[in-house]
Structure 1
Amino acid sequence: MDIDTGNNGGTWGAVLRIQVMMDVTRPLKRVMKLRTAMGEEQLIRFQYERAAQLLLLVWSTWSPLKNCELQYEPGFVDPGQNTPYGSWLRAPPPHTNRRWNPTQTKPSQFSSINPSFSFINSGGDCLAVPPRIMSAIAWNCQGLRGPGTVRYLGELIREYHPSLVFLAETKRIYGASEVSQRTSTWHLLSKLASQSSRMWLCSGDYNEILDHGEKEGGSLRPAWQIQNFRNALQENDLHDLGHSGTPFTWCNNQMQPLTIRERLDRACGNSEWIQAFPKTSVHHLDCSCSDHKPLLIYPKNRVFRQFGELADRGVLNQAGLDLRSKSIIERCWKSERGNQPGTQQKITECQTQLTVWSKNHQGLDRRRIKLLEKKLYSLRNGIISSAVQLQINRVKNELEDLYSVEETYWKERSRTLWLTEGDRNTGYFHNKASHRKKVNEIRKLRTDSDEWVDNEQDLRRLILDHFTKTFQSRRPSTVDIERCTVHITPRIDRNMYDELSRPFTEEEVSLALSQMAPLKAPRPDGMPPLFYQKYWPIVKTDVTATTLHLLNNHALPDNYNATTIVLIPKCTKPDHLSQFRPISLCNVLYKIASKTIANRLKPILDIIISPNQTAFIPGRLITNNVIVAYELNHYLRTKTKGVKGYMALKLDISKVYDKIEWAFLERVLIRLGFPPRVVSLIMLCISTVSYSFMLNGGQFGSLIPQRGIRQGDPLSPNLFLLCTEALSSLLLAGERNGSMEGIAICRGAPKISHLLFADDTLVFSQATRQTMQCIGNTLDTYAKASGQEINYGKSTVVFSKNVPQDEQLELAAIIGLRPEIMHAKYLGLPGVVGRSQGAVFNNLRD
């Protein structure tokens, strides 16, 4: 026991402040009899600055275990019961003007369960402050008594300052290592879940995986084992909280090919936990002193959007479905009509008024639903007369309207596509929306120099710098562009020319709007297509006039082409900007015009696009390419004889939309024979864009690009197909002049030199030095003019079996390709299916 002797002779006001070591398995001392030096007995009462908070925290954490087979130590008192133990055991905060000399210790990392306050020692006064965020480290450690393990554990605590540290000996989840005993673990999990109605987090070594992607090496896990684990989590409302860091938490520490890695440790929370802590993060820490990796669990606070940033557009969709908001739209649309930028001003005014309306009505609909449900219950359980039946019908109709608003709002927030009219699982969609928000959140990123950035301002600067470089034109020369497009022949005949040149009509504008998904994400005007579709009789005249003014007169209002870029992860745990897909959220007004142009182009695409391309063209299927590719790959695998050898190149093209050079695209349109007015209109649409960016709900930045087309613009897929005609024409020209030769799988079969599905490119040719050099020159010519980058490091080449191994390496090295036995996948399907069909298709089952 230590006494603080530096304060008024060892006292602190009317109390003696002491520091004691306690056994946390025993109840707190409330009172104690002490005998003074004069022989008198006095009853001393105790209050605690931190220990009471700690024990209350531990009790709340482990209360789900209360009724299991584990017995508490005698004398342990439940602080939640009606006993002498409670919050009064905490010492009150001192007056701020009373100072003392504290012992120099680090502040406690523990937070109070009571959300109102917690105490810290910061080297000055004792102050009441808001509680810190609790964090935890969970570790199924091997060799805990080893000095290296102890040192590493100390380093973890110093580095991450966890509030709680769980080791394997503590009472957390541990899945039986024997498969035969695994069922007992799931039964125990169900028992614990049934005894708790509160939010809870269950972390530990489950000794099981959720899908085959969580295991590397060794034999395949039986499907029934995985399914049992999934069922156990689903039945107990437990959801995997995901992870960052290395993908696996356990390794058998054997040399290849005996190495096995699995994700056996995980943290799972129930729905209440996810709703309370939607941003819980689980990080796999690296460790060299054990076969299991520690888990760092950190339930972050919600991040609230700053004032002035974009409001939740879901409330606008809610208003858009409510008949009461119709008067707001009509009021905003009473200003003078015309084909001036006033249309955008009216939309902005509608957005402002609907946002105010939505905020004033937030929560009212839910309360209204409850009242109507009670009223309906009362009416149905009384005497039902004809008048009462009319009331029942009115209440049911009003409930249906409110249900429709609620379910559509949560469908849009969750981005779940299979919701149909009548589904009422709003709780499910609420969880889906929270999970989607958690997945799309960007917490930290790695720079090109392998440095980590986790500060909000630094992240914004990193994103802005990255896209400034991406959208900066390389300014290809006229000679390079002409060399790339010289083999494109005019394909627009007179009928097509006249059809493309005629003025756009109101019917085309209305058709384009009706074809748009109602709840597609809008930005930056905040209005989804549903708004225009719902109130088309009100807004039709202005919207149609503005759109036709752009399409027929090539007049673009200010901010009409403003676009917000959001970053969508390409993989499960992205850590670099190259692992995100930039999706452009355009104003719906612009998308109506763009969709109208795309509808004009759609009927002629099948005629002007080469048959080697099968993406986004009506009447052509992805399976066409898949079947041809399988036949050609089979031919390569089975060709073991003959003088001629063949090869198949699978090209990786990066940033295909973002780096299209505008001058190149314009030249392609002219070479194909498009009318000058159409070329001018298309170039106006793509070259007047301005970008801002979205990060974790906040909009920032401003960027004027010099090249690129947008993912999210209805016109972009068609424009990209037209650009690929340059590559296709170069490959066909090489085949015609004898520089390269395609593959014919049998006598009389057509020779195939390449297959295209958007940017997925396969090139087939005879395996010779001349052919490889021709392909390399063709790709370089295309890259210089178009801005496309061929990633040769990720591109691969496969040779027929009659090509010697040394010759394969020599040919692949000419342009820097990586030789493979067989292409792993093409268009998401395996390049070849061998005897082990389970190993190939298990991911589909997952």
Structure 2
Amino acid sequence: MKILSWNVRGLGQPRTVGRLSQKIRDENPSIIFLIETKLSAGRMEKVRKRCGFNNGIDVEAIGRSGGLSMGWKSTCDVTLRSYSVRHIDVEIKDEDTGSTWRCTGFYGNPETSRRMESWNLLRSLDDSPDMPWLVIGDFNEILFAGEKHGGLLRNQRQMDLFRSALEDCALDDLGYSGSWFTWEKGRSEQSNMRIRLDRGIANNIWWSLFPNFTLQHLQHSFSDHCPLLLNTTPNGNGGNRVWHFRFEASWLLEDSCETTVADIWHDSGDDLLEKLSMVLKGLDTWFRKIRREKNLSVNDLNKKLADLNDLQPTDDILGDIVETKLALNLELDRKELYWEQRARSNWLKHGDRNTFYFHRSATQRRKKQSIEAVYY
């Protein structure tokens, strides 16, 4: 099972919703926990369903801050335990293990003077010591001074109170892979600040239930927080997909499509069926190459962004990070246009793109777009 946790810093813009939808489609989580949605419960419900999660709960933002949402796929057996403006707590009946365990999405109070309220909330949630328990989210605090670079030194007492709360609840940090920080601010060497504010923690029973779990800090191109992706069964196999040829209307947007068809047609024999067969095979090969190049472009940009984030921030490095994020956004825009063209729909207006509607519409058209046989 995959769980995606992300402080998205507001979902009021269609472009931001499009970025979220793309990340969800790429990672395919079963459960999402979103923080700082800055939306009413009603608007957030629409966004959540648009992303493919019809089941879930949305906590209202207070004014222009806060707001939580947790969604889960219909294939998941999830029961809501409790929620507040700082947490959403659910029970999950896991099909892989046959066990029931808790997943708590957590949002620590951003006000330092009220941080103790968050730790007391965490203690109050520790009411089932015999159940596997995972807590994931933005805690707005660090455990050790080394988890913050730049800015003022963290107050030692703040960190001690956070560690004390985890000890009282018998929760341990899960670690991570990827860039060491989860939050960044400042685009110059003098002002840059990086902190590990987001994390996953769990009790020993949960660790024993999922000994091979992974937790990744994913690359991203919006929000000052990075997404966390927890995978309880990283060795799971999603099955092999069978490739069926179908002509995509978006191919006509590629400059090389027309010349590729013309070259294959002229190089084939005189028989019409043979020509059609050669064009089909040739386009299949051509599209695989185009798709591979586009995927490599996005993967290369993500890798470049990860490498840049690992370097000591200087003005040049931070400038490269901004340029790489802009390039990544451009590639994601192209992918959104692909889905819009593939769905053959004019429903999308005013920039509200890459929604669940288009993916569903494109899927429903697959049977109509394929050629089952040619009779002569």
TM-score range, shorter chain: 0.3 to 0.5
- TM-score when normalising by structure 1: 0.20
More strand by share: 2
- TM-score when normalising by structure 2: 0.44
Report 1 or 2 for greater relative contact order, CA contacts < 8 Å, sequence distance ≥ 6: 2
